[in-house]
Structure 1
């Protein structure tokens, strides 16, 4: 016997964060998203976030029964049927669709809640590996994922969901001796991390809170000690050819595959450091223009030990991505990276903050995991 996916009859999970961004999520839900789901005859289940951390807790506690219900919604048919055979060959044809009315932080919480909820349980296997498909409605502050995919409005996001085309949403793992997290947008150290941290006091300004916090930190510019090490294959932006160049030769198999020997090191100190999966972090701010949501690379933007003039020059060119041609900017694509700091520091992870302990014991490793049971997410594009 085989199974035919009937997950089109399974309710869409709608995660509403009414406090995100300028608090437009509820209006977008009532006026645009809910009517579209009703018109398309798509059943839904509304999950409303009532506090910080509520979404991640919800999915940690409920993802196993949700997946159980999804599996039970699949119909058994004779093994000889063509559709059943297709399902046997492709166990990922079972789909859990989630509409997010909120920011990138809400998506971050859902991803981590799902993966923590199924960790070590055997719910996701070769025999049953559902795809989790996100439709992100841009009602957050930065809306990095939506902006990077070219989503221009709430209606545009809804239209893409109804059209049904998805691309992989690759996630990054962030690992230290004490921490295991997954990120979908950006990890940062130095000026960017300090900006996000200080932006909380300007939250009432919406997107402008980041600009205000950035100017505050530029006026009191600091350098942040640390070493960034790259493992395996990398690509570096070459300003002379205005292209990305593979940094390992075709015969250097060790450089391409070894994850224990660093093939490239940036010694710092860092003024500005980003490790991202998204090209844009908000409209008009494209710090990693070659980043792709759906590939297996992390894009690194590093500025080492510069002053206010160089940082302001970089900021002035990030709207269209031409800052990569500036002499003080390093742009690297990698799959495995480690950050080590000589003193205790702070790392920003999709808007959350992680304390980095000093020395090798506090080393943080960033990877785009190749584990198929982790890379189960897609996004409507």
Structure 2
């Protein structure tokens, strides 16, 4: 009996040793999941070869040979249309090319202050699969329901095009990319209502009239903005104007807070807001409009005292709302001085102007008060509530308020900011020298590592409301527009949304 127990103990011990060395052999092996076929049909490809089309797990379209060998595989999230055309069937999809994957071994992939804007960019193309003969209606209808779950037959598509945007390419983008993709997805040309923007701030008025029309006829509408951040800024402000304080509210005994759905098509020279939505191209943004998934985004109300737009005593200041950025100090100077170089240098102008500003680095005196603020603690990797915070002991070198993590591709200045949050992110550096500012900038390019610097060179807060008083006359950047604030002037920022009686804005993502 003792011998049996001893042998049993030895066997258990040996098994335990084997388990430690090879733990997954018995207990952690999981069989691969079975692929579930949702739809299937037989046809012939463009060369006349018999093939099987099979939709698997609501995720992939497989094209298989007659021997059930996979010839090609496509993700349904990249497919946006299926059509019958005479004796053919067409399936429309986006093809994505990653230049970095095709980069030769040994080539440098590191981001620098001059190449970060192009690092990681993927190329999107419209492509079409062609099959001989028409597929059966059951497959086509089922497939269309999978790739375009929200049918849009009764939706008005209001298209706002800035003809000057992106080197006058926005109208071309509409005709060659946006419109063809929408038609392939099942939209009709009769649904499109085209409006071209006007210069000198008149776009806001056009958007206001559109908003009033939408609120009165209550027709479901998607608004597509083809332009840059300036176009989106004007459209959002105009739609907000349509809801705030107009006669129709009294006539209709006040509607509930409306929801405006926006498709942001990055056709401008500055497309910061589209970056917050993680769009990689125009095709990508249109694809997300077709797929129909949305998320809210919030605005920041801006009040200036004195307001430079008020020319006469007693006149009412225009209501200002921003969705991307407010800055003062280094960043505002960068935007201001770069304006004149845009026709010649594109976005590379920012790098050259930044190097110039570093040589003649300025400090900016002011007083900042943040309400109900949270401060990021780099040692704990979390935000800590601090309540009301007042800062006036040191001058400001860099001051930026954002509703999104990046101002440019690869430049993650506010890494924890998202457009749907009801707090704004405040990033600042106070009384720093050019070497400290340059070092922090490099860390911004490294995925936003600047906020984790335990030297506290970078101060990072979240707050729903703040007031900034500037000691000397200053330039402010409001969504890329430069506004002048007099000495002793105050800028007040406050997050707004449906809970403050403002419209609810949704963007396709």
Band the TM-score falls in, shorter-chain normalisation: 0.7 to 0.9
| Aligned equivalent of 2:76 | none
Structure 1 match to 2:87: none
Q: Which residue of structure 1 lines up, in the alignment, with residue 272 of structure 2?
A: 144
- 8 Å contact 1:13–1:98 — kept in the other structure? yes
Distance (Å, rounded) in 2 between the aligned partners of 1:268 and 1:29: 49
Q: What's the secondary structure of 1:194's corresponding residue?
A: helix
**Offset of residue 341 of structure 1:** 0.9
Deviation at 1:266, TM superposition (A): 4.9
Question: Equivalent of 2:183, from 38, 52, 61?
Answer: 38
**What is the aligned counterpart of 1:324 among 446, 451, 454?**
451
In the TM superposition, residue 164 of structure 1 has moved relative to its aligned partner by 0.7
2:492 — aligned with what?
365
Residue of structure 2 in register with 1:11 after alignment: 156
Q: For residue 87 of structure 1, what is the aligned residue in structure 2?
A: none
CA distance in 1, matches of 2:392, 2:380: 22
Aligned to 1:51: 199
Between the aligned partners of 1:108 and 1:281, the Cα distance in structure 2 is: 15
Q: Higher relative contact order by CA 8 Å / sep ≥ 6: 1 or 2?
A: 1
Match of 1:120 in 2: 245
Alignment TM-score, normalising by the size of structure 2: 0.63
What is the aligned partner in structure 2 of residue 225 from structure 1? 365
Q: In structure 1, the residue corresponding to 2:464 is in which secondary structure?
A: strand
Whole-angstrom CA distance in 2 between matches of 1:157 and 1:292 = 18
For residues 44 and 263 of structure 1, the distance between their equivalents in structure 2, rounded to whole angstroms, comes to 49
Asked if 1:337 corresponds to 2:466, the answer is yes
SS at match of 1:207: helix
Q: Identify if the C-alpha distance between structure 1 residues 215 and 377 changes in structure 2 by more than 3 Å, giving closer, same or farther.
A: same
Shift of 1:213: 2.3
Give the stretch that moved more between structures: 7-16 or 171-180: 7-16
| 1:106 is aligned to 2:231 | yes
In structure 2, what is the equivalent of residue 208 of structure 1?
Answer: 348
In 2: Cα distance, 1:137 partner to 1:63 partner: 19
> What displacement does 1:351 show?
1.0
Kept in 2, the 8 Å contact 1:142–1:281? The answer is no
Which runs of no fewer than 5 residues in structure 1 stay unpaired? 1-5, 74-94, 248-254, 256-261
Partner of 1:239: 378
Q: CA deviation at 1:200?
A: 1.1
Is contact 2:240–2:503 with CA below 8 Å preserved after alignment?
Answer: no
Deviations 1:94-137 (A, max 9, x none): x4321111111111111112222332116568634331111111
Asked if 1:68 corresponds to 2:196, the answer is no
**What pairs up with 1:275-290 in 2 under 5 angstroms?**
275-290=401-416
How far did 1:311 drift? 1.2
Choose 180-189 or 315-324, whichever is displaced more. 315-324
Which stretch of the first structure deviates more once superposed, 131-140 or 170-179? 170-179
CA distance in 2, matches of 1:267, 1:139: 43
Q: Residues of 2 paired with 1:146 and 1:347: CA distance?
A: 22
8 Å CA contact 1:7, 1:96 repeated in 2: no
Residue among 322, 328, 335 paired with 1:183: 322
Q: Tell me how far apart the structure 1 counterparts of residues 209 and 477 of structure 2 sit (CA, whole Å).
A: 26
Q: Tell me how large the CA RMSD over aligned residues is.
A: 2.1
2 CA distance for matches of 1:34 and 1:368?
Answer: 35
Query: 1:345/1:18 Cα in 2 relative to 1: closer, same or farther (>3 Å)?
Result: same
Q: Is structure 2 residue 483 aligned with structure 1 residue 354? A: yes
Q: 8 Å contact 2:229–2:479 — kept in the other structure?
A: yes
How far, CA to CA, are the matches of 2:341 and 2:180 in structure 1?
34
CA 1:225–1:298: 2 relative to 1, 3 Å: same
Structure 2 unaligned residues grouped into runs of 5+: 1-150, 308-316
Alpha-carbon deviation of 1:19? 2.0
CA distance in 2: counterparts of 1:98 and 1:267, whole angstroms: 46
Once structures 1 and 2 are overlaid, which stretch shifts more, 202-211 or 15-24? 15-24
Specify the alignment match of 2:63 in structure 1.
Answer: none
Deviations 1:133-157 (A, max 9, x none): 1111122223112212211111110
